[in-house]
Chain A
């Protein structure tokens, strides 16, 4: 993409692709209308931020009535926390289509602001939600791609199939050997380190993901407890997170959870993540006290999932980069 010259006012996406994008959004709304799932809107700006060390929030400042001396507000990285407050308030199953924001993320599959579809199903577990996600995505892609029936693999099965190693049991040395066997260069900052989550991510991104979702939707589920994020953890050996991800053509499309509803456990995870941020030299951010209060009040048993609309449109259009499906990526914003 050219970044100089006078052509920068023009969209990077073809108008045909923008029309396809509009049709996809229309069909998503029809899908949820038929199923009685309510469309909601929640604030983009929040006094709290995600504590996840893997996500960097952008921030801005509001000054005026209510906050005469100014208030730092974080742009949401996903609408998860306020949507859970609505669930706790008795809204029932809900969905939202909105822009979300992530600092530090730009590339072929990333733009710092992107469009997310997020929905919550009261009474569903992650397996039922995987099934519904599969139905939605198959419907949306039906006119562009011919796909076989979706498959479900555990995180462990996916690693064994594509990296010949058990991600729950492998040591740092074994991850390093697998990387070497598959000619994957190991970043300097990882060599000799036993940051197992980083080792798993290295092999996941370089070796496992490219093989996922070939000709069909692939759901990966049962993540290591350390990567539970906001999912329930089922005790066992090893304990497994009730979390799933959806892949097509090696591209990560969606991430879902059987949602953690325990306020104490949620607080512990926030605190653990804030500690991890400090250790990693990342900025401290305020945790979401409203979410904790809502969980204390009680959130119904539910599963939720977030799906990247831009990547979905990419796959439907056969595009190689996100810039081909959004009119103005960050360098033309």
Chain B
């Protein structure tokens, strides 16, 4: 069993916490000049997404989590699972609702996503930072409005709803930032 000592702690390190895989968000070394050293750590449970604070005595060890990030292409959704393929090995994997979560609304076939695998099973699915999607429904806007102020809701082909400028029309494709859910530009 691989372990990490507190000296190896840094943001992004994947460890086991209370039986769940977790990722260190922030590690702070605290020590009174004449006293004992502690590592005060903010750590995110990768299953629940919740971030908590934990304290370790410096020198303690923690079990490493067998977590890897892989780039995989999204193939299709069969109503229950989202299916992905490794573009090099053609190996396929299915991710469930827990792994995909709210990100389902950005998932477009053929897009390359980051799949976080824990012991080989998809734990988290992250869509690309920027996706290009077609508008399937939006109110006709005013021609000539280029200010970007105000805006209107637009429903995208994947089901996501984003605010777009008034000049954007039904049937156009746009670029969207999936981390903020905001419109970037026309595609």
Contacts and interface: CB of A to CB of B under 8 A. Distances in A.
Nearest to B54: A185
A204 B35 contact: yes
A188 B34 contact: no
A51 interface: no
B36 A106 contact: no
A254 to B, nearest CB: 9
A278 interface: no
B7 to A, nearest CB: 8
Interface in B10-32: 28-32
Given A187-B56, A187-B60, A202-B55, A107 B35 contact: no
B16 to A, nearest CB: 13
B38 interface: yes
A3 B178 CA distance: 28
Interface in A165-193: 184-190
B34 A229 contact: yes
B31 A197 contact: no
A110 interface: yes
- Could you say which of B33, B55, B60 has the most chain A C-beta atoms within 10 Å of its C-beta? B33
Interface in B130-152: none
A105 B37 contact: yes
A200 to B, nearest CB: 8
B12 to A, nearest CB: 13
Nearest to A56: B37
A255 B40 contact: no
A108 B60 CA distance: 20
Contact of B55 (A54, A104, A206, A229): A206
A227 B38 contact: no
A117 to B, nearest CB: 14
A103 to B, nearest CB: 11
Interface string B164-183: 00000000000000000000
A289 interface: no
Nearest to B38: A205
A306 B40 CA distance: 26
A262 interface: no
Given A184-B55, A187-B55, A187-B57, A255 B33 contact: yes
A209 B36 CA distance: 14
B55 A186 contact: yes
Contact of A189 (B28, B32, B60): B60
Contact of B35 (A108, A206, A227): A227
A110 B58 CA distance: 14
A197 B29 contact: no
Given A54-B35, A197-B35, A201-B36, A104 B28 contact: no
Interface string B29-71: 1111111111010000000000011111110100000000000
Given A185-B54, A202-B55, A206-B55, A110 B34 contact: no
A283 to B, nearest CB: 14
Contacts of A54: 31-32, 34-37
A81 B174 CA distance: 70
A310 interface: no
Nearest to A227: B34
Interface of B: 7, 28-38, 40, 52-58, 60
Given A190-B57, A197-B35, A227-B35, 5 more contacts: A54-B34, A105-B37, A108-B28, A186-B55, A245-B32
30 contacts: A52-B34, A54-B31, A54-B36, A104-B37, A105-B37, A107-B28, A107-B30, A108-B29, A110-B29, A110-B31, A184-B55, A185-B52, A185-B55, A186-B55, A187-B56, A188-B60, A189-B60, A190-B57, A200-B35, A202-B36, A202-B38, A204-B32, A205-B30, A205-B38, A206-B38, A206-B55, A209-B32, A227-B34, A227-B35, A255-B33
